[in-house]
């Protein structure tokens, strides 16, 4: 079971990379920035099942690590204006950061699965991921708004 979930994590990381590369080819907007954490929030329904509930310490650990990891994503997410449209810039570092996060996740799962129940561990990893995506998307939203406002203030040259 451990190998299956690790394999799924790798497949999902590859999917994120493909989506990110495709997204860089199309202009972005506020909806594309805000919707992923909203859709992901439905995963919190797992906490209705007692096996997934976390202790206060587990919540604190997951949130702290999630916020720390979000700084890596924030640093690699920048916007650029092309042809009067705002695009998410491609970052070569993003691939390595995402790969590193997957490796850290797999190692953490291997180590922690001996001392933490699999349900609680799943709850911790979900909370860690959510704690990572929310600050990242808030930073993207603020940066997008800044770029959009700066672009709108520039005089148009005919």
Q: CA 32 to CA 40: how far, in whole Å?
A: 13
Q: Which two tokens stand for residue 92?
A: 């070569």
- pLDDT (tens digit, 9 = 90+) per residue, 48-72? 999 999 999 999 999 999 999 999 8
CA angle 59, 38, 79 (to 5 degrees): 105
Which residue ranges make up each domain of the chain? 2-153
Handedness of CA 125, 130, 133, 139 (dihedral sign): negative
Say what the pTM is. 0.82
Q: Residues 36, 137: contact at Cβ < 8 Å?
A: yes
- pLDDT (tens digit, 9 = 90+) per residue, 9-53? 788 878 877 877 777 788 999 999 999 999 999 999 999 999 999
């Amino acid at each position: 079971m451990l190998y299956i979930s690790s394999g799924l994590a790798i497949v999902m990381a590859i999917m994120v990379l493909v989506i990110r590369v495709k997204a860089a080819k199309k202009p972005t907007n506020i909806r594309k920035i805000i919707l992923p954490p909203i859709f992901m929030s439905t995963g919190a329904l797992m906490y209705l099942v007692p096996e997934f509930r976390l202790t206060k310490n587990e919540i604190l650990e997951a949130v702290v690590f999630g916020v720390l990891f979000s700084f890596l994503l924030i640093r690699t997410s920048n916007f650029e204006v092309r042809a009067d449209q705002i695009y998410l810039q491609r970052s070569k570092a993003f691939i390595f950061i995402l790969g590193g996060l997957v490796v850290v996740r797999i190692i953490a799962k291997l180590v922690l699965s001996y001392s933490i129940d699999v349900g609680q561990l799943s709850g911790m990893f979900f909370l860690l991921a959510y704690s990572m995506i929310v600050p990242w998307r808030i930073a993207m939203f603020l940066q997008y708004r800044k770029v959009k406002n700066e672009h709108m203030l520039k005089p148009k040259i005919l």
